[in-house]
Amino acid sequence: MSSRDRWTAADVPDQTGRVAVITGSNTGIGYHAAEALAGHGAVVVLAVRDLDKGNAAAKRITEAYPKAAIEVRELDLSSLASVREAAEALGSAHPRIDLLVNNAGVMYTPKQTTVDGFELQFGTNHLGHFALTGLLLPRMARVKGSRVVTVSSMAHRIMAAIHFDDLQWENGYNRIAAYGQSKLANLMFTYELQRRLAAKRRSTIAVAAHPGTANTELTRYLPPLLRPADRLLMPLVVQSAAMGALPTLRAATDPKVAGGQYYGPSGIGEQRGHPKLVDASKQAHDVELQQRLWAVSEELTGITYPV
């Protein structure tokens, strides 16, 4: 890889005048993306479930960048009521939104449901972000060059399928397969959203990214049988959360990015390294499944898109 292919946070263009909303940005990948965007001049909104942690993150960013413009907004993606309240507050505070980064997520959780009765991983990782994007899109569609960046995972290939006959895993539960379903849904959502935006000739684009194997808090629910292997392999394959944030940052800011693209690490197996254009599974590109998932998502959330 040549030196100019080693895209880093230093390659983020000037973000002055842009408003960026990042979910789950008090820690991990979301935090490092927020820090980089704020450091390059963007007004950054930390949309987080825990306001205390969000305020602490905002303080850390302003300590590093005293001129940074940071806001903290409460958002619980596992509650559609919270999503609606957050979207209304964001819309009132910001008539224009340039960038929405759908980053927050939960992984490998024990069987739980959201307050609306959805399986927790599918409800949080996909349906919550589907609803939030739909509600904020009118604020973005009027902004030339705006972007929706959704963070997926290599797990979209692992035991992954959209279980339309049992989306909420009421007839048995596999936490790994359920996570894979939610991450596959993130990619299908991105591709279908981009197709709809392009059909309406909107300048807003939808892009996806994945962090590879990054050191974040997501692994706290790792099944006990996998923890010894995780501890053994972590020093070999896991990269820092700051490196894991680079695909998201590139998808969000690189002028050369096109709608419907997918960015991930450049190393072996896309586990670590500098960000590059990667591809998703064949299943993720299935247009019929994308459209079916979209229809179900609108029905479950009650959100109808303006595209």
**Active-site residue set:** 179
| SS3 assignment, position 149 | strand
How far, in Å, CA of 213 to CA of 250, rounded? 17
Q: Which residues contact 226 (CB under 8 A, 6 or more apart)?
A: none
CA–CA distance, 292 with 92 (Å, rounded to integer):
32
Cα–Cα distance for residue pair 238/272, rounded to 1 Å? 7
* Residue 276, H or E segment: strand 275-277
C-alpha to C-alpha distances, 13 to 8, 22, 37, 42, 162, nearest whole angstrom: 11, 18, 9, 10, 37
Q: What are phi and psi of 302, to 5 degrees?
A: 75, 15
Question: What is the dihedral sign for C-alpha 53, 58, 59, 63?
Answer: positive
Tokens 């490998």 — which residue? 108
Q: Are 182 and 240 in contact (CB under 8 A)?
A: no
